[in-house]
Amino acid sequence: MMPVHPADRPLSSICDEDTEKSLLADQFGFEELWLGEHFSASTEPFASPMMFFANLLARTKTIKFGTAVINLPNHHPAIVAAEAAQFDHMSKGRFLMGVGPGGLISDFELFKNPDVHARNRMVVEAVDFIERIWSQDPPYELKGEFWNISVKDGINAKLGIGYMPKPFQRPRPPIFISLASPNSSSAKTAAQRGWGMISANIIPTYSVATHWKVYSDACAAAGIPARGDNWRVARNIMVASSDAEAEDRVFSVYGSNTYFYTYMREVLNSVGLLVLLKPRADMPDQEATVEAITEGCVIHGSPRTVLDKLVAFRETVGPFGGLLMTGLDWGGRNRDWERESMRLLAQDIMPAFHGHATATAAE
């Protein structure tokens, strides 16, 4: 869940809905739950994914919790290191740490981080500092381009003062980085640093395929095998009893997919990034309608059709190890539609899709 909700919905009702959806995912057997972080958008209103997840720990059984993502330029690395380590212990290791440079223009203004190249460097520096904090005891003396971290004078080893917490998972929780542009350099960073990747749900098939190409090329250059185990690919998915019913739900004027891509098209077009959504990079802007973008990004149909589409999609883009189904707003009939879609994907489609992926890997 990014999540994306109507701008005028009360935050309390959004929290209630997304909590219900999270518990449902655990009941249906989903393995992971990922939640976005934004500070200045009522449509995407969660400022703290880990705070939201903490409410779910005692109410879920096995599902893991992933931040998608902690926008590191907006945080001091020491705060992220301490809070993430705490949540990793609270969850007994059910934590996946997704990080990224941010994608919301008002957050860039809020935190005075307008330079995309600087934000990308901040992500690398912040993770480097976090990993160093997690791997050592004080004194801490970390100097970088953007932050300096020092604890050397106020240390009392006997009382544990000056010691920052280390995570439950050793040496650290899995780290993932978000990818949203074609040929994203972050895929190369993931290969070089041993991180996982999360390819965004808003981008078309050709763009997702470039992420594996960049990643596998970087692995080859480093002399390490390219494996898709830690690659997550997010998609908007609508499963219904028939192809016709699924199509009607996806393209309905009352459907959350229509709202979602109308919202994303307006947001990205306003900042000159409409190309991210286009099914073809050379598509003229006037042809990149909400309908064309939706058709290019949403996997929809009956269980049999969606399975076939997922197999074809994975064969096209590369061997991703995790499929993330986007959670959408439940206004109107969308609650019933998405609940059915979640159940059919988890129970009817994923066992067969997993079996196909396993068989393909064995070949």
Per-residue pLDDT tens over the stretch 211-220: 999 999 999 9
Report the Cα–Cα distance between both ends of the chain, in Å, rounded. Answer: 34
Q: Is the pLDDT of residue 307 over 80?
A: yes
pLDDT of residue 30: 98
- Listed residue (268, 232, 238, 248) closest to 328, CA to CA: 238
Mean pLDDT value across residues 32-40:
98
Given a contact cutoff of 8 angstroms between Cβ atoms, the answer to whether 45 and 104 are in contact is no
pLDDT of residue 129: 98
pLDDT of residue 171: 96
Q: Is the pLDDT of residue 182 over 90?
A: yes
Residue whose entry in the numeric block shows the structure tokens 């973008």: 293
Rg (CA), the chain: 21
pLDDT of residue 362: 77
pLDDT of residue 361: 84
Mean of per-residue pLDDT scores for the chain: 97
pLDDT of residue 360: 86
Please give the model's pTM, rounded to 2 decimal places. Answer: 0.96
Q: Is the pLDDT of residue 309 over 90?
A: yes
248-283: b (≥16 Cβ within 10 Å) or e: ebbbeeebbbbbbbebbbebbeeeeebbbbbbeeeb
How does pLDDT run across 119-132, given as a tens digit for each residue? Answer: 999 999 999 999 99
Q: Is the pLDDT of residue 320 over 80?
A: yes
Torsion 294-295-301-305 (CA) sign: negative
Percent of the chain with pLDDT over 90: 99
CA distance linking residue 255 with residue 147, whole number of Å: 44
| Coarse DSSP helix, strand, coil percentages of the chain, rounded to the nearest 5 percent | 50, 15, 35
Q: Is the pLDDT of residue 363 over 80?
A: no
DSSP string, 254-299: TSHHHHHHHHHHHHHHHTT-GGGT-SSTT--GGG--HHHHHHHHEE
Structure token pair of residue 359: 């068989």
Residue whose entry in the numeric block shows the structure tokens 């969850």: 91
Given a contact cutoff of 8 angstroms between Cβ atoms, the answer to whether 180 and 203 are in contact is yes
pLDDT of residue 287: 97
CA distance linking residue 33 with residue 50, whole number of Å: 11
Given a contact cutoff of 8 angstroms between Cβ atoms, the answer to whether 237 and 325 are in contact is yes
50-73: b (≥16 Cβ within 10 Å) or e: bebbeebeeebeebbbbbbbbbbb
CA distance linking residue 337 with residue 239, whole number of Å: 8
Mean pLDDT value across residues 258-268:
97
Mean pLDDT value across residues 21-45:
98
Residue type at position 277: L
What's 74's DSSP letter? G
* 3-state SS, residue 58: helix
Q: Is the pLDDT of residue 106 over 90?
A: yes
